[in-house]
Amino acid sequence: MEPEIVADGVVVTMDYTLRLKDGTLIETSEGQEPLEYLHGQGQIIPGLEAGVAGMRVGETRQVIVPAAQAYGERQPDQIHTLSREQFPPNEPLLPGMMFYGRDSFGNSFPVTVIEVNPDTVVVDLNHPLAGEDLYFDVTVRGLRQATAEELMHGHVHGQNGDEGEDEEEEE
Ligand code: ZN
């Protein structure tokens, strides 16, 4: 029996388009592979996961996720002035450039350059989508029951429920 609605333990295939309140397109699965994820495992942002619960195949829904439930509010204390020497000397630095830093736990975080001075660089460590309400248009394309192994791993495997392409096992 295949599941009829999006619920915990169900592998969901869905198309989505993410826009900001002003209509700016951030991301879409249109023209690409639809997103596939295991529902109930926090694989997608919590507000979106809650918003698609109960949907059926073919159903379309707009899910609005407030900033606080998405990437959080912008934190003014996440603006930092760093010494220019902390950056590679030969790499051009321009306001608006974004790159990823890595914390002591190995997690990467986005860094946006705001201002470049001769001796200092002002960076913003807020996520680029912090402070933004997210407007998702979601269409469910397929639902299937997750395999026991997928439930154990907490993520989706390949076509036939085998490990497939996912090589990094965190367990
Ligand atoms: Zn796995």
Task: Answer for the pair 9, 40: CB distance below 8 angstroms, yes or no.
Answer: yes
Ligand 1 centroid to 166 CA: how many Å?
6
- Spacing of C-alpha 151 from chain mean position: 21
Ligand 1 centroid to 155 CA: how many Å?
6
Place of tokens 């830093």: 101
- Spacing of C-alpha 169 from chain mean position: 19
Ligand 1 centroid to 62 CA: how many Å?
30
Ligand 1 centroid to 96 CA: how many Å?
37
Ligand 1 centroid to 89 CA: how many Å?
41
Ligand 1 centroid to 95 CA: how many Å?
40
Ligand 1 centroid to 156 CA: how many Å?
7
Ligand 1 centroid to 119 CA: how many Å?
47
pLDDT band at 171 (very low <50, low <70, confident <90, very high): very low
Helix residue spans in the chain (DSSP H)? 46-52, 148-153
What pTM was computed for the model? 0.76
Give the count of beta carbons closer than 10 Å to the beta carbon of residue 116. 16
Of 4, 10, 1, 5, nearest in space to 145 by CA: 10
Cα–Cα distance, 55 to 48 (Å, whole number): 12
Ligand 1 centroid to 9 CA: how many Å?
14
| pLDDT given at position 97 | 93
Could you read off the pLDDT of 63-109 as tens digits, one per residue? 999 999 898 999 999 999 999 998 888 888 999 999 888 888 888 88
